[in-house]
Amino acid sequence: MEQLGLALILAGALLVIAKLIRLRWGLAQRLFLPSSIIAGGIALLLGPDIAGAVGGWAGTDALREGGVFGATVFDAWADLPGLLISVVFATLFLGSRLPAPRQAVDLAGPQLSLGVTMGSGQYVIGLLLAILVLTPVFGIDPMVGALIEVGFEGGHGTAAGLGDTFAELGFEEGADLALGLATVGVVSGVVIGIALINWAVRTGRTELLQEQADASLAQQMGLFEQEDRRPGSIMTVRPASIEPLAIHFGVVAIAILIGQGFLSGLQALERALWIDTIELFSYVPLFPLAMLGGVVLQVLIDRFDTRGIIDRGSMVRLQGLALDLLIVTALGTLSLQVIADNLGPFVILAVAGIAWNLGAFLLFARRMIPEFWFERGIADLGQSMGVTATGLILMRVADPDGRTPAYEAFGYKQLGFEPFLGGGLITAASVPLIAQLGAGTMLAVMSVVLAIALVVGLGYYGRKDPDPDILARAERDPDE
């Protein structure tokens, strides 16, 4: 227990050091590189694969097992992502009133079509590569076909959260490869996204942003100007009765417990009915069910929390804390040796993933989204290459005043997207499904999903006329 506490303290210290580096390092500012990734990179440098190897060459064998921090801290870090990812996913919808279905569908439909196209296409590309190249040429497990979606769309949290699943299915290197792809995705997502925004401004493809889309120095440093600072959460209960953050943590815990109940029930059902045919839920991790637990709990909160006790800002702060710690610990325990041993497949997957996401955005976004296709689609590009935060960064640069419906559409889209892709049930189930049914079966299923998304996006939403109310919104003064 002492080592767990020390591991958390060291992770927190690394985050502070990383933030100081972000404040001074111009390249990190221009790339909008999250401090958690910088901190994870520091932890990786000081870990057994780099510092340990250097120490071994210098005759200091003590660094080989756990690097500078020691083997016990390294082992504690390795266990933390599986816990923290459930917190991240449980808080996705907690504290936000769920919209009316019709409102969400009308605004988020085009966004969802594009997101599903990008996500399912990552499976199609990855599985085709696995069947045609990666498995026959490199001898790597066919489960490698899921890694583009797990790493790019799912991000560091999902890649780390599926670590036990990969290990149980005999593909231990899958988690490290996915984490490496997630890092490539975040960095390339921001770099390519910012380049696209500037290209779109120069060529007139943005409808609002007509000047160079450069963020302020404070934005690049990751700071709020004094006049822009605002509370990140609201104290809804008096601390004399219970600490406000404590009750929000308790709500997250209940959501995770509900998710655990769902998972245990599905596992029991599987054992009773079909486990001899296919074993799926034994390998599905907790975090996608924790997200569904959060949705169920939010339905109850919407109905019974008449005093507004649950604050969305507090949930976002808890989510952000868990995600930052998760990224630090996951990257800090990443095995560079595994990536080096599988460098060919890793490079092929990274290049193919970037090419698909960029091509799908340029080809389909303007044909699926009737209004403000670039401002709205750039968020989906960011999410499909990194994580939701990457999409929000790009959307903020493309629409700094929030004059398009990009924020609402992207948020509503998550209700239909996150439960399945980007770390949801399909992402979690894809690895055991490939292991038991084969890459060909999964390829056929995801090809159908991709075809449906294209038909709905291009054939229905793409043919709709722009909504005059949405277009009129952009004409309003953003300060009104």
pLDDT in tens, 419-447: 788 777 788 889 999 998 899 999 999 99
Alpha helices in 62-162 (DSSP H): 71-90, 101-129, 135-138, 147-148, 155-161
Least confident of 25-29, 365-369, 408-412: 408-412
287 vs 316 pLDDT, higher one: 316
- Residue indicated by tokens 């390092």: 25
210 vs 374 pLDDT, higher one: 374
- State the pLDDT at residue 92: 78
What is the token pair recorded at 226? 């004094």
> Helix or strand or coil: residue 212?
coil
Confidence grade of residue 224 (pLDDT, cut at 50, 70, 90) = low
Confidence grade of residue 401 (pLDDT, cut at 50, 70, 90) = low
The most confident of 94-98, 210-214, 341-345, 407-411, by mean pLDDT: 341-345
Read off the pLDDT of each residue in 15-31 and give the average, rounded to a whole number. Answer: 86
Q: Residues 462, 465, 470, 474: what is their CA dihedral angle, to the nearest 10 degrees? A: 90
Helix 343-368 and helix 173-203, axial crossing angle in degrees, nearest 10? 40
pLDDT at 49 over 90: no
What is the token pair recorded at 335? 């095995």
- State the pLDDT at residue 1: 58
Confidence grade of residue 198 (pLDDT, cut at 50, 70, 90) = confident
Domain ranges of the chain: 2-210+313-464, 244-311
65 vs 348 pLDDT, higher one: 348
- State the pLDDT at residue 453: 95
Read off the pLDDT of each residue in 317-332 and give the average, rounded to a whole number. Answer: 84
pTM of this structure: 0.74
CA-nearest of 258, 279, 250, 255 to 267 is: 279
Confidence grade of residue 479 (pLDDT, cut at 50, 70, 90) = very low
Query: What does pLDDT average to over the chain?
Result: 82
CA-nearest of 86, 93, 89, 103 to 300 is: 93
pLDDT at 478 over 50: no
What is the token pair recorded at 109? 């439909």
Spell out a b/e string for 326-359, using b for 16 or more CB atoms within 10 Å of the CB, else e.
bbbbbbbbbbeebbeebeebbebbbebbbebbbe
pLDDT in tens, 129-151: 999 999 999 999 999 999 999 98
CA-nearest of 218, 189, 167, 236 to 387 is: 189
How far is residue 115's CA from residue 110's CA, in Å, rounded to a whole number? 9
- State the pLDDT at residue 211: 44
- State the pLDDT at residue 396: 67
- State the pLDDT at residue 219: 66
- State the pLDDT at residue 393: 65
- State the pLDDT at residue 105: 75
Please check whether residue 150 is in contact with residue 159, taking contact to mean a CB–CB distance below 8 angstroms. yes
